[in-house]
A and B are shown apart, each in its own frame.
Chain A
Amino acid sequence: MKWLRTNYPILLLLALWEGVSRFGLVSSQHLPPFSQCLVFLYELTRSGEVLIHIRDSIIRAMGGYFLSLLVGIPVGITMGLFRSVERPLGPVVTLFYPIPKVTLIPLFILWLGLGDRTKIAIVFLACLLPILISSRSGAKNVDVRQIWSARTMGTKDRQLLRLVILPSALPYIFSGMRISLAISFILLFSTEMLGAQSGLGYLIIVALEAVRPEMMFAGVLLIGVVAYTCDRILLLIRNRMLFWHTEQSAF
């Protein structure tokens, strides 16, 4: 009931969708009824075909995403802590940050071919800078008095990172992780639309070629569900780890 009270606008929207299509206000060639998309989605799922697409998409997205965390978090923190690292890398980050990574897809296809390597590399590149920049801010914004306190109590340099800097930077790191997660899906489906043999982005392109709008909507819905689920999982982890963080964030 509580769910219904907060989310009724979504239901209204779906009902509107169903209505305009059923009563012919919009051609069902352009906008098939919502129920029809659901039925189609159900059939796709039952045949098991769609699971392969979901699996392939998730592997690519997560492959690039986790690689970006693996590189972005340590490099970002190191940049935030040491000016000797920030000085050479900072300008490079500033230069590459505004370049839309989608534009690199053709280049990477040329370099790495049409396979998964290109997709993972693109997702990795697109996710890298947001997580890196957030981690850097996290390390930079550690309250100097926290570090002073820790040192006064006898904290050695090598303990400082684990005991003070990392936990203190964690809220920043998580917001970077969330931004990068959203970006990973955007870039993944873009690459899948430009040459792939499987995946949810591929599904939509196939639907376009076959002029099957209900299949396109099914693909879009699936992408929505997958991205939403990943986001919720990340949120859950964040809230477990940052229960002590009182500031209300954008989550």
Chain B
Amino acid sequence: MGPLVKIDIMDVSHTFDGGKRGKVIALDRVNLKVEDGEIIALLGPSGCGKSTLLYMVAGFYPVQSGKILLDGRPVSKPGPDRGIVFQEYVLFPWRTVEENVVYGLEVQGLGREEREKIASRFLEKVGLLSFKKKYPHELSGGMKQRVALARMLAYNPGILLMDEPFGALDAQTRELMQDELLSLWADLKKTILFVTHDMEEALYLSDRIVVFTARPGRVKEIVEVNFPRPRDRKTRLERDFAIHRDRLWSLLKGEIVKAKRMEDEGR
């Protein structure tokens, strides 16, 4: 028996109603097996359907054709076996940092004392324990994304889904957050599926990178990334990193040009 398949995406296609453009095929027969504890990046030009795929795994969009299995069971709706983080944080602005982090535990009916203990643990992990009484509007972008991470981790989902999680942050904060994510992962060993358009982020974080074509999104190639873990800033200086980066760029370049042309033509 091979390693445990956590997410099994089989022949998944997705079309949406593009108004004047008629039916638009967003995803075309995508196949992907994600093993338990793997970090997988979905990389591709804008509009290639990588976020759509993530949202289908999350249960936000219905699976129209093909199949998505989580631990062998088909996805039907969102649920606490998964966690989601968006680029724009999407915290609950009317709740304090702590109240945000306990949210999942609260709706699942855990007692106050217990959930506050868990919240404190995860706020400590992301370095925001002293900010627990603050409200989201009082925090910087990086801090908000840390809260979103803590909120997701607090109720202990097996699969973490992230839609360009660090895309809204400045370059330095982004690197800090990437390191933070890796150390959280080393600690908790979750399965992570994340969308990015940043080649270096994909290389630095993941075990495999799924490269998508321009719309209709197909899997162009799955690139194995074998840099040893734990990774740190020296990883980015390795010759191998540069070679991989160049390889990714050669895969992506044509697709990005194609996606741009489609965008310019308003398709």
Q: 1/0 per residue A136-171: CB within 8 Å of B?
A: 000000010110111111111001000110011010
Contact A244–B107 (Cβ < 8 Å): no
Q: How far is the CB of B15 from chain A (nearest CB, A)?
A: 20
**Residue among A149, A168, A245 with the most chain B CB within 10 A?**
A149
Bound form: Cα–Cα A174–B84 in Å: 31
Residues on B with beta carbons closer than 8 Å to the beta carbon of A154: 79-80, 104, 107-108, 155
> Is the CB–CB distance between B92 and A167 below 8 Å?
yes
Chain B residue at minimum C-beta to C-beta distance from A153: B104
Query: Quick check: is A246 within 8 A (CB to CB) of the other chain?
Result: yes
With a cutoff of 8 Å between Cβ atoms, the chain B residues found around residue A170 in the complex are 94
With A153-B104, A246-B137 known as contacts, the answer to whether A164 contacts B92 (CB < 8 A) is yes
**A48 → chain B, closest Cβ, in Å?**
45
Chain B hits for A151, CB < 8 A: 59, 77-79
Minimum CB–CB distance for B192 against chain A, Å: 15
A67 smallest CB distance to B (angstroms): 27
Q: Across the interface, do A148 and B136 meet the contact criterion of CB distance under 8 Å?
A: no
Give B122 Cβ to nearest chain A Cβ, in Å. Answer: 14
Distance between Cα atoms of A159 and B107 in the complex (Å)? 8
Of B92, B108, B151, most buried by chain A (CB within 10 Å of CB) is B92
Interface pair A146/B78, CB less than 8 Å apart: no
A47-98 residues with Cβ-Cβ distance < 8 A to B are none
- CA distance in complex: A151, B107 (Å): 10
Q: Does B150 contact A (CB under 8 A)?
A: no
B165 at interface, CB cutoff 8 A: no
B99 to chain A, nearest CB (A): 11
> Bound state CA distance, A91 and B86, in angstroms?
37
Q: Are A149 and B84 closer than 8 Å at their CB atoms? A: yes
Contacts of B184-224 to chain A: CB distance below 8 A: none
B79 close to A152 (CB less than 8 A): yes
Q: Is B166 on the interface with A (CB-CB < 8 A)?
A: no
Chain A residues with CB under 8 Å of B93's CB are 244-246
CA–CA, A145 to B92, complex, Å?
Answer: 11
Q: How far is the CB of B77 from chain A (nearest CB, A)?
A: 7
Q: Which residues of A contact B90 (CB under 8 A)?
A: 143, 145-146, 149
B181 shortest CB reach to chain A, Å: 18
CB atoms of B94 and A244 under 8 A apart: yes
Whole-angstrom distance between the alpha carbons of A151 and B151 in the complex? 13
Q: What distance in Å separates the Cβ of B166 from its nearest Cβ neighbour in chain A?
A: 17
Given contacts A244-B94, A244-B135, contact A152 B107 (CB under 8 A): no
* Given A145-B86, A244-B136: A153 and B92 interface contact (C-beta under 8 Å): no
Q: Could you tell me the distance between the alpha carbons of A170 and B93 in the complex, rounded to whole angstroms?
A: 12
Question: Which B residues from 33 to 90 make CB contacts under 8 A with A?
Answer: 58-60, 77-80, 82-84, 86, 88, 90
Instruction: Tell me the smallest distance from the CB of B8 to a CB of chain A, in Å.
Output: 20
A147 to chain B, nearest CB (A): 9
- CB pair A152–B84 under 8 Å, yes or no, is yes
Q: How far is the CB of B140 from chain A (nearest CB, A)?
A: 13
Q: Which residues of B contact A150 (CB under 8 A)?
A: 103, 107
Cross-chain contact B60 with A148 (CB below 8 angstroms): yes
Complex Cα spacing A151 to B58, Å: 10
Contact B135 A152, beta carbon cutoff 8 Å: no
Q: Which residue of A lies closest to B163 (CB)?
A: A145
Q: Which residues of B contact A159 (CB under 8 A)?
A: 107
Q: What is the chain B residue whose CB lies nearest that of A145?
A: B90
> Judging by beta carbons under 8 Å apart, are B58 and A146 in contact?
no
- Having A146-B92, A244-B94, one finds 4 other A-B pairs with CB under 8 Å, namely A145-B86, A152-B79, A153-B83, A156-B107
Which B residues have a C-beta under 8 Å from some C-beta of A?
58-60, 77-80, 82-84, 86, 88, 90, 92-94, 103-104, 107-108, 135-137, 151, 155
A-B contacts, 6 listed (Cβ < 8 Å): A148-B60, A148-B78, A152-B58, A152-B80, A155-B107, A244-B94
Measured CB to CB, the residues of A under 8 A from B are 143, 145-146, 148-156, 159, 163-164, 167-168, 170, 243-246
The 9 closest A-B pairs by CB, nearest first: A153-B104, A154-B80, A151-B78, A152-B78, A246-B137, A167-B94, A145-B90, A154-B108, A244-B94
